[in-house]
């Protein structure tokens, strides 16, 4: 009997299909189809047909979702797409539809079978939620992955489509497990991540090719990274990695005031409820998120840099470094017990050094990762994985302390346990993001850490 599942964070992993398990991005099948039809079948011909299809699929996406939500099949929708993509040969649309339903226009991503086999070996149950038509089981069988799945939920069959949370509720029901024991994996922020979250199901975005760098959700570049999501970190922890602002430094009110000053010329009246939930995101990205939310239009890279510079100038002028009450004795106690300490922040390295040096705690941290040292900041796993690497430890040997939801998500995405410290937001917000447990004060956190965890 496999015992690794006893230590799993999740019991069930559920997958989207298109863009997650199967790709529609290979031109070779279109070239083969043209050749079979006795038509010009050069790479350019296949590329032209493929490009038309991609444009039409994107354009007609919403209408396809509507069909699934009404319990209707997608065959007519696809037939219409093929006729529009190839107006000079509408007679071949039916044959293209047959190829589609046989799975011949799709390809299985290389990481799918090893990942499904690995998860199954870990004791995970697997499922599918898809806005595909009823031909999906045949497609899964064609690629020889159908036997991995305990259940397959198709929008056309159940009369509800992603991102409606009801289709995720059906997966919860089919699994027989509570929502927080399921993990959903998909390639679309709205349909997959937000839909799952609305049903109380954790979700991770698979972003092949790094096409969605600004997505504020846990993100992986391939399915091969999934195993770290389903494993609970080993105990005891050998390192404690702390967020800086709001956990180590009592700085969040000053960050709020400096952002208010930087954004006021744009007519933006910023409140704590706007800033604190996205704390931990690198400064330039924060500028983009806030301006886009309030002004309803994209923020250029140049404008984001200008606002970030103004914000930093205001912060440097008004901030006087001080630790969160009770943090100094906690840090010294942890080091004295043999823990390695790490620090992860969305702030620039220069800000970190200027803030910590006057407080005499810089030397306590064996590893520091700042926002200007990573390609992808929180909620991506990169900052915490980089900290673990610098500490010379595996992710499962680290415990994170965070005060913001995106930081909690980043820690969990890295496969690390995460405790919450409710200095900026209500404990319920941190718990909803996955922090467990959550503490109201540093004293409570210290008591728990020293009683439950020990360094080596």
For the chain, 456 residues long, the average pLDDT of each consecutive 10-residue run is 53 94 78 86 85 80 58 68 80 82 82 94 94 84 94 90 94 95 92 91 86 73 82 70 96 94 95 90 90 92 95 92 93 91 93 90 95 89 94 91 93 90 92 88 89 56
Q: What is the pLDDT of residue 453?
A: 57
In angstroms, what CA-CA distances link 75 with 78, 101, 154, 313, 414?
5, 9, 14, 58, 40
Q: What is the pLDDT of residue 84?
A: 85
pTM of the predicted model over 0.75: no
321 class by beta-carbon count within 10 Å (0-12 exposed, 13-18 middle, 19+ buried):
middle
Among 243, 245, 274, 380, which one carries the catalytic annotation? 243
In angstroms, what CA-CA distances link 212 with 24, 205, 221, 440?
18, 9, 10, 35
Rounded Cα gap, residues 427 and 435, in angstroms = 9
* Cα–Cα–Cα angle for 117, 120, 122, rounded to 5 degrees: 115
Find, among 352, 63, 314, the residue nearest to 342 by Cα. 352
Q: What is the pLDDT of residue 3?
A: 38
Query: Please, which residues bridge with residue 186 across strands?
Result: 205
Query: Please, which residues bridge with residue 418 across strands?
Result: 400
Evaluated on CA atoms 200, 204, 207, 208, the torsion sign reads negative
Q: Is 243 a catalytic residue?
A: yes
Q: What is the DSSP letter of 194?
A: I
Rounded Cα gap, residues 171 and 151, in angstroms = 8
Q: What is the pLDDT of residue 249?
A: 95
Question: Where would I find the H helices in 2-42?
Answer: 28-36
Q: What is the pLDDT of residue 368?
A: 97
Q: What is the pLDDT of residue 68?
A: 53
Q: What is the pLDDT of residue 306?
A: 96
Query: Please, which residues bridge with residue 203 across strands?
Result: 184
In angstroms, what CA-CA distances link 108 with 23, 104, 111, 113?
6, 10, 8, 9
């Amino acid at each position: 009997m496999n015992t690794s599942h006893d230590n799993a964070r999740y019991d069930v992993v559920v997958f989207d299909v298109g863009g997650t398990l199967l790709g529609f991005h290979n031109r070779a099948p279109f070239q083969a189809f043209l050749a079979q039809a006795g038509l010009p079948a050069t790479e350019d011909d296949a590329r032209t047909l493929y490009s038309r299809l991609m444009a039409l699929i994107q354009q007609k996406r919403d209408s396809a979702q509507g069909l699934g939500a009404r319990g209707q099949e997608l065959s007519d929708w696809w037939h219409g797409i093929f006729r529009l993509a190839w107006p000079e040969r509408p007679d071949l649309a039916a044959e293209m539809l047959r190829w589609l339903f046989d799975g011949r226009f799709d390809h299985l991503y290389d990481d799918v079978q090893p990942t499904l086999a690995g998860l199954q070996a870990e004791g995970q149950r697997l499922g599918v939620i898809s806005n595909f038509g009823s031909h999906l089981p045949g497609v899964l069988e064609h690629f020889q992955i159908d036997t991995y799945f305990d259940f397959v939920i198709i929008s056309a069959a159940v009369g509800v489509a992603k991102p409606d949370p009801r289709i995720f509720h059906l997966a919860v029901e089919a699994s027989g497990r509570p929502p927080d024991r399921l993990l959903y994996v998909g390639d679309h922020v709205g349909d997959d991540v937000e839909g799952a979250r609305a049903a109380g199901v954790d979700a991770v975005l698979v972003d092949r090719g790094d096409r969605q760098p600004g997505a504020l959700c846990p993100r992986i570049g391939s399915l091969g990274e999934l195993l770290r999501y389903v494993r609970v970190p080993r105990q005891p922890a050998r390192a404690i990695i702390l967020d800086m602002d709001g956990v180590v430094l009592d700085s969040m009110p000053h960050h709020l005031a400096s952002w208010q000053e930087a954004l006021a010329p744009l007519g933006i009246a910023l409140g704590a409820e706007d800033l604190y939930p996205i704390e931990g995101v690198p400064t330039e990205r924060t500028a983009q998120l806030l301006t886009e939310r309030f002004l309803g239009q994209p923020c250029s890279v140049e404008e984001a840099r200008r606002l970030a510079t103004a914000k930093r100038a205001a912060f440097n002028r008004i901030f006087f470094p001080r630790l969160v009450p009770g943090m100094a004795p906690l840090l010294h106690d942890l080091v004295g017990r043999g823990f390695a300490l790490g620090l992860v922040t969305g702030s620039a390295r220069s800000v970190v050094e200027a803030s910590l040096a006057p407080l005499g705690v810089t030397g306590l941290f064996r590893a520091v990762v700042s926002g200007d040292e990573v390609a992808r900041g929180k909620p991506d796993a990169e900052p915490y994985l980089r900290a673990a690497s610098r500490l010379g430890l595996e992710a499962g040997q680290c415990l994170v302390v965070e005060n913001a939801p995106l930081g909690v998500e980043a820690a969990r995405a890295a496969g690390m346990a995460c405790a919450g410290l409710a200095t900026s937001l209500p404990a319920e917000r941190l718990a909803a993001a996955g922090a467990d447990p959550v503490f109201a004060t540093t004293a409570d956190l210290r008591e728990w850490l020293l009683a439950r965890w020990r360094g080596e």
